[in-house]
Amino acid sequence: MHTPMTATNTKFDSSLDAIQTALSNCLTETSFTWGKKYQGKVRDTYDLGDKLIIITTDRQSAFDRVIASVPYKGQVLNLTSAWWFEQTRFIVPNHLLVVPDPNVMIVKKCKVFPIEFVVRGYITGTTNTSLWTQYQKGVRHYCGISFPEGLKKNERLAEPVLTPTTKETEHDRPISPREIVEEGWMTQADWDEASAVALKLFDYGVKTAAKHGLILVDTKYEFGRNEEGQIVLIDEIHTPDSSRYWLANSYEERLAQGKEPENIDKEFLRLWFVDHCKPYEDEVLPAAPEELVVTLASRYIQLYEMITGKSFAFAQTSLSLHERIMRHVAGWLGS
């Protein structure tokens, strides 16, 4: 297992202690009165009319369900997205207005496209919609793209591909660009513009990750249009929840040996569930092992530090998480 910190062992040990202590104090539910609430798999959104309060919780989702609660995960996702939003403004505007709390974003509401723009640079994955899962089943034409015979798991593709999915209540459905237009999900013009932006964002993400010793394997983007008619990036960007990252320095060697790349995302936890149950079918799933949850939290923190170059700040306060968020958001609303 890769040591999930890049500084000293002392820092590593204290970070693990902080994560261990927080296991019983994860942010799994919110119940504020700031407007109509919508609960997603990971985020709780409160509608203020022209703005949204988005609270990123510590819920861990995979296989279209919540599989665990991971300490500090919400904070990592929120702050990682905020960093990438700032870095990519030169490519496309985004909906972020302010980050009043480590777990909270206030964003501008816009008209959302009901499509997730999934960009893949490698053939890999374990979920039903992953490229490798489909390829193993013999699928060679996927989301309007033809794939050659003889591809091996975790290989780099000749060029990044866009494999969109619909955003539906139960299961996301892979769909081709032609079907997106024919079924009325988006107009051709909207698709052309947004898909071009998605590929530009991925190219920038790949190059930025490489500078920090990481491979951005795949990711997903969501877009909408604002009141001015601009395409706007929304939701999250290049987080360990929306993206797959591998450590670059060991990738080639492990690929040659037929080993899985060293990942720095939630894939190893997905693999544990695949090995121990049928996550798409079983009504009740086994509890994620505490050791794996701590490892995942430390990897998320490691990724934040590698990407941003900042030390992760373990939020210390005598307030409960709910009280802290309430105070910070109320302060912003009051101003």
pLDDT at 320: 87
Task: Give the pLDDT confidence of 161-183 residue by residue, as tens digits.
Answer: 999 999 876 677 899 999 999 99
Q: What is the model's pTM?
A: 0.89
DSSP single-letter state for residue 34:
S
Residue with tokens 């490691």: 302
Q: To which H or E segment does residue 152 belong? A: none
Which stretches of the chain drop beneath a pLDDT of 70? 1-14, 169-170, 316-317, 335
Torsion of CA 54, 60, 64, 65, to 10 degrees: -100
pLDDT at 162: 97
Per-residue tokens: 264: 């720095």
pLDDT at 240: 87
The CATH class of the 9-334 domain is alpha beta
Task: Give the pLDDT confidence of 282-319 residue by residue, as tens digits.
Answer: 888 888 889 899 999 998 999 999 999 999 988 766 78
In Å, what is the CA distance from 53 to each residue of 27, 184, 324? 16, 29, 15
pLDDT at 283: 87
pLDDT at 170: 66
pLDDT at 169: 63
The ranges assigned to domains in the chain are 9-334
